Structure 1
Amino acid sequence: MNKKVITVTVNIDMDEKTLEDKVNELEKLVEALDGEVVLSLTQKKSYIDKAFYVGKGKVNEIKDYCEKLDAEFVVFNNELTGSQVKNLEEIIGIRVIDRTNLILDIFSERARTKEAKLQVKLAKLKYTLPRLSALRSGFSRQQGGIGGKGIGEQQIELDRRTINREISNITLQLKEIEKNRNEIRKKRINSIEPIISLIGYTNAGKSTLINKLISYGKDENSEIKEVFVKDMLFATLDTFVREGLLLNGSKVMYVDTVGFVSDIPHNLVESFKGTLEEIKYSDLILHVIDISNRNVDEQIKITNDMIKKLECNDKKLIYVFNKLDKITDENIKLEYANIEDKVFISAKSDEDIIILLNEIEKKLFSSLVKTRLLIPYDSQKILSNILNNYSPKFIEHIANGCFLEVFLKPEDYLIYKGYEVNEK
């Protein structure tokens, strides 16, 4: 059975639309941990109450609603201090958690790989450390679902020295994992296939899109290792790398990254930074956007801020406005007329995938020169150089040499121009 939850959002200098979006997003975060929001409360304030975050009167109101609705948790849409959590729990009488803790709990639930589990545990420890003394309440940290699991073995009972030692230990383990990942990444970077990273707000449709992209050009009998898809926030945390084909037959590597959300905990961003840095090594970024979301502009800004934070502003980028099938007003496209390098699609549409693949090819090969070369059999070193650095659209061995069609960098085109032919 879903746990009954009351959410509380304090409005400090927010307009009505932003407030509504914040409340809706928190409700979806609660649902992502199988919680049922029975009531969403808001309070407009010009300052934060040091003891309770909200006013004392609001605390009593929350307590009354909890009793009437049999609520099991109260989730605040703001980050609380340890003492605020303790003070609220003493009056309300049930477990109180904040947005940061909720997101950390979701990540704990979703983590599958050893690295993801360590990253989340590290963020949890860093969140708990400054709250240690205030969080010594009688509420169990071992429950499942919302507010559950904590960081294992009742972390609030561990002293600072133990937590700091564990932080150091996890940091060392992550450095070792990162070292191994860098070796794998190095091989991928040195390969001839371009790397395309998908980035965007959580639940924008990245995983659905990557599954469609890697399926293109494959026959029905081909084994396709799809990534997990579910219509929920943070359905998956792991970074996936999959091979795909472009329209011209060139191979590419698609990288699916963890989605973002507003006010994502700083410790979580820091913990996942190594994973997110996959984006730095991309030849192209697909910024996937849910055009049907009412808060689409804010989501674009949050993702762009993350791209900037990762120092990837100089990367080639396509804005992929996804979920076109969910909108009825085609005029919404006009609102983004000033954005260059964009495409409007539904990841469910095969025709739209072709449109996107066309744009990917244009962007990847815009600076390349398409040419046909005939390399004589006594010039195999030339052919070897080309094949080591490029993936030809096609290659054929004929009587007087090796015939291939390939996209070359301008400087390489000048080197191999002497082998150019119009026909076989």
Structure 2
Amino acid sequence: MEQREQTEQRAITVGVNLHNQPDFVDSMEELRHLAAACDVEVVGELTQKAAHVNASHYIGTGKVSELSEMLRAYEANIVIFNDELSPSQIRNLEKDLACKVIDRTILILDIFAERARTREAQLQVEMARMQYMLPRLVGLRESLGRQSGGVGTKNRGAGETKLELDRRRIEAKIAALHKELETLVAQRQIQRKQRQKNKIPVVSLVGYTNAGKSSLMNALIERFHPDGGKLVLAKDMLFATLETSVRSIELPDNKSFLLTDTVGFVRNLPHHLIKAFRSTLEEVAESDLLVHVVDYADPEHEHLIAVTNETVKALGADHIPMLYAYNKTDLAPERPADEPDRVCVSAKRGDGIDELVRRIRERIFTDYVRCEMLIPFEQGRLVSYLNENANVTSTSYEENGTKLTLECVKADYDKYRDYVVAGPE
């Protein structure tokens, strides 16, 4: 039994339902999924209805006693709370329960630490962890002294295996991380400015974690770049995507847009993470269109839509037009009704992709002009430019030059207005 406790993490999840929250049950279910993503086996659950939380222990003293009994009965070694705990609450609970106590925030931070691949994502996660640790030094030091490994201990990644840190050293580390992150953010801003200069529309995929954003991005890449498109990681797990991936989608009529895949949202996404990932999430706030990917097969998809919309608002991006892509409709018992701002798709099967692109086109290519131009023969380079950058539907050779019927951006129409022989249709 002792050997199992050293190698296995067995947890009791705890939640306080304040004022009968409508999504409380779903939130507790999600906590179990978050624990599973950290290789923690949830063996029991304790909930309490209350008008307010207990200041010293988060739950009432009677519930603390009940929780202690459950730990013994289920041979559990971790307690996971569904809300973020204060430093004193962690300290008091661990003293009375004699086991490790963590909260939803540290679970999510651990998952992010595990999944981060690029240097920018690693810096963002590390800074968020440090900001979480700062007010919790005493409680975490005691907790990690009790157990050397497992969930909630990835804070050791910064090099301090037993968290023997003082406040000054953590603050210095945060400052160093912030400085390095600023350099990467500056590079990202330069890239964004270049896109704006080139006037390439940007479409961002947003949505709840595991809704299928990366799968949808891959479906679009495979449709329009079957040979040379670089696919993104798409896995059936929480937070598979932490890095913002950007791909250019080249359409057959020489129109193109940039498609970005962003980190998925979740209930109560820790504010430390929102702050740390703000530079990445700025991609969302500077988009021309948001495609909100919804897992329609999830019975609680309406709640998940609300969570995503709240996060979009928190990022200051709620003014950007939004198109809903109802994904996994092939797995749902019924198909949702068609609406102007809603498209039914199945990223895995490729269903609805053409209709999605048609709706995207309607919303982002609004500054195009249809016209006819007569280009003098000595301006052959201009003919080549328009063939590459406009949608030329017909070409004929007249006495005075090459006549093109085309659709082009208004900027090009204004620039080459002298060659226009038939105005906008």
TM-score normalized with structure 1 length: 0.88
Q: Which amino acid aligns with 2:389?
A: S
Match of 1:28? 33
Contact map agreement 1:197 1:286 (CA 8 A) in 2? yes
Distance 1:404-1:154 versus aligned 2 partners, 3 A rule: farther
The equivalent position to 2:296 in structure 1, one of 291, 295, 298, is 291
The equivalent position to 1:204 in structure 2, one of 211, 230, 246, is 211
Question: How many aligned residue pairs are there?
Answer: 412
Distance 1:91-1:195 versus aligned 2 partners, 3 A rule: same
Deviations 1:305-343 (A, max 9, x none): 22223332332321111111121123xx25x96xx5221
Contact map agreement 2:31 2:82 (CA 8 A) in 1? yes
The equivalent position to 1:4 in structure 2, one of 6, 10, 31, is 10
Tell me the CA shift for residue 395 of structure 1. Answer: 8.0
Distance 1:263-1:155 versus aligned 2 partners, 3 A rule: farther
Distance 1:244-1:157 versus aligned 2 partners, 3 A rule: same
The equivalent position to 2:151 in structure 1, one of 146, 150, 167, is 146
2:412 & 2:117 partners in 1: Cα distance?
45
Match of 2:407? 406
Give matches, 1:23-422, under 5 Å: 23-137=28-142, 139-140=144-145, 145-152=150-157, 153-154=160-161, 156-219=163-226, 222-246=227-251, 248-330=253-335, 333-334=336-337, 340-379=340-379, 391-394=389-392, 399=397, 400-401=401-402, 403=404, 405-409=406-410, 412=413, 416=417, 419=420
2:118 & 2:148 partners in 1: Cα distance?
22
3-state SS of 1:132 partner: helix
Aligned-pair identity (%): 38
Distance 1:74-1:258 versus aligned 2 partners, 3 A rule: same
2:85 & 2:98 partners in 1: Cα distance?
17
1:21 & 1:417 partners in 2: Cα distance?
62
1:377 & 1:24 partners in 2: Cα distance?
69
Contact map agreement 1:199 1:286 (CA 8 A) in 2? yes
1:96 & 1:177 partners in 2: Cα distance?
35
Deviations 1:173-214 (A, max 9, x none): 111111122222222332353221111111111000000111
3-state SS of 1:215 partner: helix
Distance 1:170-1:402 versus aligned 2 partners, 3 A rule: farther
Contact map agreement 1:365 1:407 (CA 8 A) in 2? no
Tell me the CA shift for residue 377 of structure 1. Answer: 3.0
1:235 & 1:223 partners in 2: Cα distance?
23
Tell me the CA shift for residue 276 of structure 1. Answer: 0.6
Distance 1:41-1:375 versus aligned 2 partners, 3 A rule: farther
Distance 1:171-1:218 versus aligned 2 partners, 3 A rule: closer
TM-score normalized with structure 2 length: 0.88
Structure 2: stretches of 5+ with no match in the other structure: 1-6
| 138-147 vs 149-158, which moves further | 138-147
Q: What is the Cα-based RMSD across aligned positions, in Å?
A: 2.8
1:383 & 1:140 partners in 2: Cα distance?
72
Structure 1: stretches of 5+ with no match in the other structure: none
Tell me the CA shift for residue 374 of structure 1. Answer: 4.2
Distance 1:256-1:29 versus aligned 2 partners, 3 A rule: same
Tell me the CA shift for residue 141 of structure 1. Answer: 8.8
Deviations 1:17-47 (A, max 9, x none): 4111111111111122222222222111122
Contact map agreement 1:369 1:410 (CA 8 A) in 2? no
